[in-house]
Amino acid sequence: MGIRFYNWYGHSEKLVLAGYCEKVDTYHVEPTYGYFELIDEKGNPIKEPGKTGEIVGTSFHNPGMPFIRYRTGDFAEYVGDHCHACGRRVPIIKNVRGRWSGDRIYNADGSFVTTTALNLHSDLYSAISGIQYVQEKKGELIVLIIKSPEYRMNHEKALYEHFQSKLKKDAIVRIEYTDKLRKLPNGKFSHIISSVKA
């Protein structure tokens, strides 16, 4: 639709709020919301662009439960202390990775890939109208697929090869065709339905 995609980062603990500016797709940390730090494995602040660390926040907006230097478990890459495009002098981060481990698909040995890693090439996307991952056991993945009018028999082989190549060799992949994807118990849609514990 020619509309720019806009994203923001935040969490219910109300520690850090960051969003894209009007010019570039990097997260600008709002300094009046909470005190933002990005720390390395040793707990030292990251000041070097390109380095990734954990987001640590101190809330200014939650007097009832003021978390101080709370480790969010979320990770981001440090871009700099100001934005070249809009000129704001606030911490800039990108590539935020969530702590939420629910998008993991596990191999039998406990290693995992995220659903992002399973993204299909565009020619395969045209063959499907809907996709959802179901994992009930480590090393086993069920892929629910709604066929599109473009779907042809040879797509199935390509789909199997794609998913099998993203997981370990001993992983069992099963494609199931459906008319309707599953909802979570709360009625929401999720790209993955997993009953596997980390």
Query: Which residues 104-123 are close enough to bind Zn ion by CB under 5 A?
Result: none
Question: Of 55-63, 86-94, 107-115, 160-168, which part binds Zn ion (CB under 5 A)?
Answer: 86-94
The answer to whether the CB of 51 falls within 8 A of the CB of 75 is no
Q: Which stretch binds Zn ion (CB under 5 A): 20-28, 102-110, 124-132, 133-141?
A: 20-28
158 binds Zn ion (CB under 5 A): no
User: Encoding tokens for residue 13?
Assistant: 């603990």
Core vs surface per residue 62-96: b (16+ CB within 10 A) or e: eeeeebeebebebbbbbbbeebeeeeeebbbbeeb
Output 83 or 131, the one with its CB closest to Zn ion. 83
For residue 45, give the 3-state DSSP assignment: strand
Smaller CB distance to Zn ion: residue 69 or 89?
89
Q: Specify the residue for token string 């926040």.
A: 57
Please say which residue, 82 or 147, places its beta carbon nearer to Zn ion: 82
Verify binding: residue 175, Zn ion, rule CB under 5 A: no
With binding defined as CB under 5 A, does residue 39 bind Zn ion? no
Determine the 3-state secondary structure of 103 from DSSP.
helix
The yes or no reply on residue 85 touching Zn ion (CB under 5 A) is yes
* 83 near Zn ion, judged by CB under 5 A: yes
As a whole number of Å, the CA-based R_g of the chain is: 20
Structure tokens belonging to residue 76: 């981001």
Q: Is position 86 an interface residue for Zn ion (rule: CB under 5 A)?
A: yes
Quote the CA–CA distance of 136 and 174 in Å, as a whole number. Answer: 12
Q: Which is nearer to Zn ion, 85 or 120 (CB)?
A: 85
Could you give the CA distance from residue 107 to residue 66 in angstroms, rounded to a whole number?
39
Can residue 21 be called a binding residue for Zn ion (CB under 5 A)?
yes
Number of residues that bind Zn ion (CB under 5 A): 4
Q: Which stretch binds Zn ion (CB under 5 A): 3-11, 84-92, 99-107, 111-119?
A: 84-92
In the bound state with Zn ion, the residue whose beta carbon lies nearer, of 29 and 46, is 29
- Which letter does DSSP use for residue 119 in this model? P
Q: Which residues bind Zn ion (CB under 5 A)?
A: 21, 83, 85-86
